[in-house]
Structure 1
Amino acid sequence: MSKFNIDLINQLNEIEFEKKFRRLSTSRTWNDEIKKRRPFASADQLLNTAADIWWNVCEKEDWIESFNGRPIIGDQESFVKDKWCLLEDEHTIQAKKEVADELVQCNKPYSDRFGYVWILLCEGLTPEQQLSNYKRRIDNDLQTELMENSVEDFKVTLRRVRLCLLNQDPYDI
């Protein structure tokens, strides 16, 4: 039996739903489409719907909109502005300022090369592992990196949806 509680999502009125889901992903298309498909019969239906929309409805522009709505990796000010970041980046929070600064500095060459924000589900990753990910990905071709960033962005979104279904949205606490 799943511990997920779909009622936590289905009971939200339209404004509450929009506010919650915009914090999960800033893609307007993803949000508009998921809102149209409410209510959900189960948590599995919500999770499958989220994936279906991300991979079969959203296009490159929608993904980039979501990427660019996320805080940059290593930005310690994000931990104050975005409660989700506080949960996801615990190792970066504890990092020495020099290491965090190095992570922040990776974002400009990445953005200059690809045209959007570098995304990585940082939960459980040390700053050194995050830097390693950057160094591996910065030489990707444009299409490969678009897909890799899309996968990482959706992993972040899906993790947040699951936590909402477990009544662990940091904005509700």
Structure 2
Amino acid sequence: MSLRHALLGLLTLSPNSGYQLAQIFQNTLRQIWNARNHQLYPELARLSADGHVECVEEGARGKRTYAITDEGRAELRRWLVEVEPDRTMRSETYLRAWLLSAVLSREDALGVLERDIQVLREQRDGVLAVMARSAAISPPHGPHNLSLDLNLRLTEAMLGWSEEATRRIAERP
């Protein structure tokens, strides 16, 4: 997924400022797509130059509120319908998992996995809490709930793998 398409998608939901978009990434999408503030503003400028978004309001201290244009909607639709996503799994977590038992001692590997399990449990609990709040205000088929469901399933799969890897490595001589 590209940042530009994530921004276009968010702007289909409602016009937002760069700050508001950054907050959505931080508070809602961080498990799906990581975007830093220093990436958002240049991308919004490029989207504006390409005619995919427009500034619909300028406020104090240079605050700009952006809305998606018809051209932006067409680009987002094209990307969703015609572009095959890159399904390559690139993850530091997966790379570490691959190297874990080959490089580390049994004790070190178990320590890493123990920390990973704790983090994954916290992530799962956080997603479940957000899901509970979201269920009251968003439809189950809406983008927020669907992405939360995917996030929960991936987190639970990683947690299950970490627990199984812990069991296997603990049994290792």
Q: Scaled by the length of structure 1, what TM-score is found?
A: 0.27
The structure in which a higher percent of residues are helix is 2
- Structure having the higher strand fraction is 2
- The normalised TM-score by structure 2 is 0.27
Q: More relative contact order in 1 or in 2 (CA 8 Å, sep 6+)?
A: 1
